[in-house]
Amino acid sequence: MRTRADIRPRRGSRIDMAAAEGGGGGGGGARPDTTVQRAELGPLLATALKPGESWYLVDSRWFKQWKKYVGFDSWDMFGVGDPGLFPGPIDNSGLFGDPETQSLKEHLIDELDYVLVPTEAWNKLVTWYGCIDGQQPIVRKVVEYGLFVKHYKVEVYLLELKLCESSDPDSVISCHFSKADTVATIEKEMRKLFNIPAEKETRLWNRYMSNTYEQLSKLDSTVQDAGLYQGQVVLIEVKNEDGTWPGQHFLAKSSTATSRNFTTSSKSSASSYSSVSATSVITNGDSSNSYGLNSSHLGRGGSGFVCNSYNCRDSASLSQPGLCGLSNLGNTCFMNSALQCLSNTPPLTDYFLEDKYEAEINQNNPLGMRGEIAEAYAELIKQIWSGRQSHVAPRMFKTQVGRFAPQFSGYQQQDSQELLAFLLDGLHEDLNRVKKKPYLELKDANGRLDSEVAKEAWENHRLRNDSIIVDIFHGLFKSTLVCPKCSKVSVTFDPFCYLTLPLPLRRDRLMEVTLVYADPQHRPVQYWVVVPMMGAISDLCESLFKLSGVPAENMVVTDVYNHRFHKIFQMDEGLNHIMPKDDIFVYEVCKPSEDGSEYVTLSVYFREKTMRQSSNTSGTVLFGQPLLISVPKHKLTVDHLYSVVLEQISRYVKLPLAEEYSTPCPDKGTCNGSNGVVEGDIEEMEHQDGGQEGKEKLAEVDPCHSEGCMQIESARDLQPCKKQHFTFSLVNSSGTSEISSIVEGKILKLNAFSALAIDWDSDTRRLLFDEQEAQAFEKHGSMLQPQKKKAVVALRDCIELFTTMETLGEHDPWYCPNCKKHQQATKKFDLWSLPRILVVHLKRFSYSRYWRDKLDTVVEFPIRGLNMSEFVCDPRAGSYVYDLIAVSNHYGAMGVGHYTAYAKNKVNDKWYYFDDSSVSVASEDQIVTKAAYVLFYQRRNSEEHTAPSPPQEECDGMDTN
């Protein structure tokens, strides 16, 4: 099952669909000054999470605006108290996927999309700023994860369960529950929903395949411990009057499959489960039922989790061993992909199928998991290789993983490589033959031969770490550090269990931008522009100039979000501030003409005045595409601004014909009750025209740097004596709060990028505003041309990049024992020895403060005959030639998308494609794609090599000292 499809909505869709309310939101009392706000909220935001507490989500865009306004960060104090930065009421509209139901968007990321604040901090913010009217607070509980290591986090996404009655399993009602809620909570909710009297006896069942049921008998179990997952169906069964249960009825009704089984807990033991399998046998049209009772336990761990719940299909037809799909339990494709790769690693699978693991389980290892991960994995591998199932549901394996690794306990999309790292580490510690690890001193090379130091490092590693995972997956790095000051050389040898290889970074980046022309009759145009990966906003403007002809100096680059300018960029700002999901609009804005008049560029937002149902007072709602207009400072009057804005929106705001051609007012100063000084305006305009032809030039357009660029001295300056269709307000940069009213007739004192709102009443907007035309845009030819083929990178390029010498960054220095201080040393990795199974992780995902991206470069890797010998620096090493046996694929963007796997079956040596529960034949020419993420190679000669084969720090967290 795919998670979110990797399809982005057309650019600008957020602007068209989101509705952000503004102006006088609910609440908001007397505010202390910015210093007090900083002092009061600082400690609260640093509060540690405690189970059961409530925390609130706040849109990070609003929160960042608040931080700027109060100078929360010591390095960002220049705008403290600036009215233009006033954040206005708390606005979470950007977090909602559906503004009506206020349900959260999928895949929101902490700190990037939202911030979490404790209850006391939230209450203070609401008291000071209020909330947008109609928005409900987004409050979530802190829940506890993990069995041994307790881990707390705010449960942002609640679990959706589909509830139904056993008598009508097709009519489901969706409800949301916390993972910390108990089964008793679910039962209570279901009794209420289905009007079941308290005196009636009930049973709860969860349906996790179309034909598999398990009784939820432990009412004190949490949703997490019960293994319930997103979208799972839970049935409630009411006992019949005669004392029987109608279980057979809903089993028969729910599925026409020929095999059904359900699991019920044994009343004799709270920790044991038994499985009842009901198989329907049809002979000559007659149906008879036979029942078999069996019981299965994990045994050693004493956890008593069901293992036979993997059975989920007709066992009459047999399949090829190993060709068994894994059901998606809700965003678990990442786990399925990693498991299929490991399942098709012959030496590891043979070890479990031959039960060799049983003698080596280490239940007392403090770094292990009491053998339970090894037991659960063994049970799953036996199911996959039994040849009796076409697919199994790895529910109990996932539950066990979640108990020990809280990050995998939910049903959010995760990373297959991270799951793989945890699993290799967990299996290693559960199967570690070393029962008591000795303490070892780490010795420096001190000029000794590499071979001697490497042998010592490997032997020390094996004294503490000795398992089937070390035997198969571990190799040895050589790490060389050189001090730039004293030339001290430090050589160490460290174990690893997979290679993480960097991909050569692209030098340029493709960006989608929309150019809004100064000519009001010209529709906006979308462009694909190629910009340097680490370039500046000025590079974007230069690239756009080459395609559009609009001079770069006339461009203003903005990020538009929810009908407002989230950010207006400076020319020297880095493009790494712009993320792929941002809606970038570039506005053509006229610069001062040759007469040297000083211009000011203003932000203009559209707002509709609405009546609040609750308080019978008026509010405002932002709509449409914001404007940027450039106006001479000496022309900053309401009348003049009105004419400029009316000109700019004339393409999609259609005035009645009578108004279009009515006679201009003879005295503009008396129009609409304005007390503006008309003579001063005329004098200035005459002066701009060089005193030639006087007032007849009023209707003409002054020259500008770019063709078609409209200056504000337009025909619209001669306004007819009609009622104005909108009014102006001076607002904050988010358009959510008014700073002051606009006084007509006076020259307005506005700064660059001050924000004005033009307020419409609902009837006028409906009559005059053409929504369809306002949203219309055109596509430039660059959008339609096929993008040039991405460069292909060879796997050896990645290996060479990995082994290239680099200088450590200033934030990651090395402590030189000679200099007695941290130095930016040079560092070089080499490969000393390689394992039997070489796992190669292609580092496709990159992270920075502003940037989270996936590199979809095609990496060409050999299916057979990967010769790694040239990269191994041990002069006595043998031949290292590998053949590919499995690939974990990731399709889509970071944090979303879908995982699958290719793997070679060890029985028939044929390739297959594993896509959750589906398994299909594959050919070798399908395997090398841009989706390849983790590669599994098997060494051709299986003889044990004398050189090391070790664990990596992050993989197993082992102390190699």
Q: How many CB atoms lie within 10 A of CB 274?
A: 17
Q: How many CB atoms lie within 10 A of CB 387?
A: 13
Secondary structure of 229-262 as H, E, C letters: CCCCEEEEEECCCCCCCCHHHHHHHHCCCCEEEE
Contact predicate 796/935, CB 8 Å:
no
CA–CA dist 353, 351 (Å, integer): 6
Nearest to 574 by CA among 535, 517, 526: 535
Q: Could you please report the per-residue DSSP string of 548-608?
A: H---GGGEEEEEEETTEEEEE--TTSBGGGS-TT--EEEEE-PPP-TT---EEEEEEEEEE
Helix (H, G, I), strand (E, B) or coil at 877: coil
| Beta strand spans in 78-147 (E) | 96-98, 103-104, 114-118, 139-145
CA–CA dist 746, 732 (Å, integer): 21
CA–CA dist 560, 606 (Å, integer): 13
Nearest to 334 by CA among 427, 232, 408: 408
Q: At 527, which helix (H) or strand (E)?
A: strand 525-532
Rounded to the nearest 10 degrees, the angle between the axes of helix 372-384 and helix 416-430 is 110
Contact predicate 202/239, CB 8 Å:
yes
Rounded-to-10 torsion of CA 347, 353, 356, 357: 90
CA–CA dist 324, 21 (Å, integer): 52
Nearest to 274 by CA among 283, 263, 286, 260: 263
Name the one residue in this structure whose structure tokens are 């036996």. Answer: 382
Name the one residue in this structure whose structure tokens are 């190799």. Answer: 475
Contact predicate 654/723, CB 8 Å:
no
What residues act catalytically? 333, 898
Contact predicate 468/821, CB 8 Å:
no
CA 951, distance to chain mean position in Å, is 30
CA–CA dist 588, 769 (Å, integer): 23
Residue 591's alpha-carbon distances to 632, 639, 679, in angstroms, are 10, 22, 25
Contact predicate 176/189, CB 8 Å:
no
Go through the chain and tell me how many residues it has: 961
DSSP bridge pairs for 238: 202
CA 351, distance to chain mean position in Å, is 38
Q: Could you please report the per-residue DSSP string of 473-522?
A: H-EEEEEEEE-TTT--EEEEEEEESSEEEEPPPPSEEEEEEEEE-SSTTS
Nearest to 958 by CA among 401, 429, 427, 468: 429
Burial class (CB in 10 A: 0-12, 13-18, 19+), 661: exposed
Amino acid, single-letter form, for residue 687? H
Sign of CA dihedral 430, 433, 438, 442: negative
Pairing verdict, β 599-611 and 755-761: parallel
